[in-house]
Amino acid sequence: MNAPLVRLEARRISYTYPDAAGRGEPFRLQPLSFAVHAGELLAVVGPNGSGKSTLLKLVSGLLMPETGAVLLDGRPLATLNLRARARQVAVVQQESPLFFPISVLAFVLQGRYTYLHPLGFESEDDVRIARQVMATTRTGHFAHRLVQELSGGEKQRVLLARALAQQPKLLLLDEPTLHLDIAYQVELLRLVRSLARKEHYGVVLVTHELNLAGEFADRALLLHQGRLVRAGALAEVFARELLEEIFQTELDVFIHPETGRPRVVVHAAAATETGGEPPSKLSPPQ
């Protein structure tokens, strides 16, 4: 049996932000390594400020790692030019404000940029691919509406469509569910997961929603203050004491009897009020 293709491999990558803006120590992401395989959805979780976004920027090429290297399908990211990189990695992130009217179709077609030659116009193939990804993300019926007029959930799907139009091998999602209603959150992630399986994408999902990560991811990375604390199967990462240390709050982790997926449940009342013990100190990483 063929081992699944390694879409993304990060080898001991680290990064230090140049300026702490007077906060003392500049933020540093400590060297870490991990891999993502084709068809796999890796969740990156951790509290705010743990370095999740930094990690994503290193993987997407927005930042250059201080140490180590990022490899896409075995090739170092640093050796790819911008266009080649855009054909490998696509990012779905929070939408920047748009200042001029643009239709959904034109927006999605932006994903085809790397396939055009300079001064080029989109070919019929490009339009066909755009329509395909819009069908997949169920955004086809508002192809001619303005992106500005869409709801939050619709916009996220359009952002996903644009990313898919790049025909990447690796899909990176940065908090894609932030402003979505729960139905849309579920719909989006179901879509992403099925795409990962069908199209053999590697998917990295950065989220602070532990339960979404638990429900949809295959593996997870847990970050804390710039360090990779735990990586691996969900059962390993979603360990109660570990999560309590990292997130500094009492919680329980239940495993769903049929799916085997973890669910994190918080307490309404603190344990000390009911006579229990506060969470213990964090153990050093291995």
- Binding positions for other proteins, rule: CB under 8 A: 60-62, 82-83, 85-87, 89-91, 93, 95-103, 105-107, 109-111, 113-114, 116, 118-122, 127, 144, 146, 148-149, 152, 162, 166
Two structure tokens written together for 205: 């999902």
**C-beta closer to other proteins: residue 162 or 193:** 162
Report, in Å, the least distance between residue 127 CB and other proteins.
6
**C-beta closer to other proteins: residue 3 or 82:** 82
Q: Are 176 and 160 in contact (CB under 8 A)?
A: yes
Report, in Å, the least distance between residue 246 CB and other proteins.
28
The set of long-range contacts for 19-22, using a CB threshold of 8 Å and a minimum separation of 24, is none
Report, in Å, the least distance between residue 79 CB and other proteins.
15
Q: Are 238 and 253 in contact (CB under 8 A)?
A: yes
**C-beta closer to other proteins: residue 87 or 197:** 87
**CB neighbour list of residue 83: distance below 8 Å, 6 or more residues apart:** 114
Report, in Å, the least distance between residue 145 CB and other proteins.
9
Report, in Å, the least distance between residue 203 CB and other proteins.
15
**C-beta closer to other proteins: residue 106 or 282:** 106
Two structure tokens written together for 260: 């085997």
| Nearest one of 168, 157, 154 to 89, comparing CA atoms | 168
**C-beta closer to other proteins: residue 22 or 118:** 118
* Dist. CA 205–CA 11, nearest whole Å: 19
Instruction: Map 170-195 to HEC letters.
Output: EEEEECCCCCCCHHHHHHHHHHHHHH
Q: Any idea how long the chain is?
A: 286
| Nearest one of 140, 133, 137, 153 to 104, comparing CA atoms | 140
**C-beta closer to other proteins: residue 158 or 228:** 158
Q: Are 171 and 43 in contact (CB under 8 A)?
A: no
**C-beta closer to other proteins: residue 34 or 107:** 107
Report, in Å, the least distance between residue 103 CB and other proteins.
4
Report, in Å, the least distance between residue 75 CB and other proteins.
16
* Dist. CA 14–CA 99, nearest whole Å: 35
